[in-house]
Amino acid sequence: MSEDKQPVSNSVPPEAQTQGAGSQAQGGRQSLPPPSFHMLISAMAGQCLIHLGVAPDPGSGKTSINLEEAKYTIDLLQILKEKTQGNLTPEEQRLLDTALYDLRMRYVTLLR
């Protein structure tokens, strides 16, 4: 299996599409996908992409760059990587490594 670094996807993870997707919670809203390590990393990476100006803020619909917040989120992901060392499945480790690589490259590009 290739260890190529791929950019973090802005799409909903496959398990979120099949588990709970389309079901209705009280009040007619869609229920949330089940919590998982994948969802945690995806949520943090998504927030970082908003701070990097790659994705619009869901509240305002506007894109803006906040490098301080982006770096903070990247640092939190790094701490998570250090604290979970040896306790992740290969897939989880690959997801975290890929997210960190992609976010760092985007961050450094904006610094130039």
Structural domain boundaries in the chain = 35-111
Indicate the pTM of the whole model.
0.74
Torsion from C-alpha of 97, 100, 103, 106, nearest 10 degrees: -80
Instruction: Answer yes or no: is pLDDT of 19 > 50.
Output: no
Tens-digit pLDDT profile for residues 48-57: 999 999 999 9
In whole angstroms, what is the distance from residue 7 CA to residue 106 CA?
Answer: 10
Phi, psi dihedrals of residue 109, rounded to the nearest 5°: -60, -40
User: Contact at 8 Å (CB) between 80 and 73?
Assistant: no
Q: Hey, how many other C-beta atoms are within 10 angstroms of the C-beta on 42?
A: 21
Please give the pLDDT value at position 29.
77
Instruction: Answer yes or no: is pLDDT of 45 > 70.
Output: yes
